[in-house]
């Protein structure tokens, strides 16, 4: 049985395909995933399909080389935080960005039930215009 930290680590540290597969496997059916206000995909997505359609498919088609590279993890009981840098090039403008982020996960019975994103949206939005 893996720890909550290992569960979250496995969603960042492999290939994009592995990370996506690992994330999908640990999402609760009613997961609440909140993208920060001011982020291009801002809002709360409920359930894996809403999350994939509203965030991950868009990241995969609207950006080239989009990455979320984590440099620090912190774990406390049922919560895990991941801190890192987003990077990528927005296809519509050809502009690149690098922006710091934090993701706070809440885990219950080996499933992610909630994630809240914190990000420097100004740096992300500069690539969009």
Specify the pLDDT at position 14.
87
- What does the pLDDT look like over 59-106, one tens digit per residue? 999 999 999 999 999 999 999 999 999 999 999 999 999 999 999 999
- What does the pLDDT look like over 6-55, one tens digit per residue? 999 999 998 888 999 999 999 999 999 999 999 999 999 999 999 999 99
Task: Please report which confidence band the pLDDT of residue 114 belongs to, taking 50, 70 and 90 as the band edges.
Answer: very high
Q: Residue 64, Cβ neighbours under 10 Å: how many? A: 12
Specify the pLDDT at position 17.
87
> Does residue 113 contact residue 105 with C-beta atoms inside 8 Å?
no
Residues whose CB is less than 8 angstroms from the CB of residue 57 and which lie 6 or more positions away in sequence, other chains included: none
Inter-residue long-range contacts of 40-49, CB under 8 Å, 24+ positions, other chains counted = 40/124, 40/125, 40/128, 48/24
Q: What whole-number distance in Å separates Cα of residue 99 and Cα of residue 97? A: 6
């Amino acid at each position: 049985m893996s720890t909550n930290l290992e569960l979250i680590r496995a969603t960042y540290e492999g290939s994009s395909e592995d990370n996506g597969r690992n994330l999908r496997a640990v999402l609760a059916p009613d997961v609440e995933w909140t993208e920060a206000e001011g982020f291009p995909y801002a809002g709360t997505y409920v359930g894996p399909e809403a999350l994939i359609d509203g965030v991950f498919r868009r990241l995969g088609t609207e950006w080239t080389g989009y990455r979320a590279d984590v440099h620090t993890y912190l774990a406390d009981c049922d919560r895990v935080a991941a801190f890192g840098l987003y990077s990528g090039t927005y296809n519509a403008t050809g502009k690149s960005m690098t922006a710091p982020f934090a993701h706070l996960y809440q885990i219950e019975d080996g499933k992610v039930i909630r994630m809240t994103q914190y990000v420097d949206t100004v740096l992300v939005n500069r690539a969009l215009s």
